[in-house]
Amino acid sequence: MKNLGLLGSLLALILTLQGCVVAVGAAGAMAAKVANDRRTVGTQLDDQNADAAVSYQWSKSDALKEQANLQVDLYNGVALLTGQAPSQSLIDEAVRRAQEVSYIKKIHNQIRIGDPIGAGTQANDIWLASKVRTKIVADERVPALQIKVVVQDSEVFLMGRLTNLEATAAVDIARNITGVARVVRAFEIVQ
């Protein structure tokens, strides 16, 4: 019985340590991404805060909460609004509420008129985004850590701070993936 208790304790310790290894590995990967990002750490944090601020602004509207499927992504103060809303007036409200966040320098409004997409389409979008990211990571012409990939209803939106050559290569990669309906550039071009 004593050995069984010792074995149980040892097993619990191993499982705990494995969790620590995963956490340390994830923290290391996040630190590498932060360190290799062309944005400053402060800008990265400001983007995250502004993202949350836009979501909060949208949450104050019952119509947007109940009738629309909205997503905001920020990169270097540039907001990409995607999703679906049943009317232009709701899209206008979503944009207006996003404009209330003072940090945002520019808004790319890519919200489409229509019913919110279903779970099957959302699952396909996640799979498609994974395919795009994988191809971008495998291509040496593109700095994968500088690109944010957003997919909504098979449309691929690419954000980041890239040179024109890098941006063109990223768009070319995404455009040639089976299942991609359209590619939209929302890059900040740097020299």
Question: What are the residue boundaries of the structural domains of the chain, listed by start?
Answer: 1-36, 41-113, 119-189
Mean pLDDT of 51-74: 98
Distance CA 101, CA 121 (A): 30
Check residue 146 and give its pLDDT: 95
**Is 41-113 a domain of CATH 3.30.1340?**
yes
Domain 41-113 matches domain 119-189 at the CATH topology level: yes
Mean pLDDT of 43-48: 96
What confidence category does residue 50 fall into, taking pLDDT thresholds of 50, 70 and 90?
A: very high
Q: pLDDT at residue 8 above 80? A: no
Q: pLDDT at residue 85 above 80? A: yes
Q: pLDDT at residue 2 above 80? A: no
Mean pLDDT of 34-54: 91
Distance CA 73, CA 160 (A): 11
**Is 119-189 a domain of CATH 3.30.1340.30?**
yes
Q: What angle do CA 46, 97, 53 make, to 5 degrees?
A: 30
Q: pLDDT at residue 187 above 80? A: yes
pTM summary value? 0.80
CA distances from 66 to 100, 119, 166 (A): 21, 16, 39
Burial 131-159 (b: 16+ CB within 10 A, else e): bbbebbeeeeebbbebbbbbbbbebbbbb
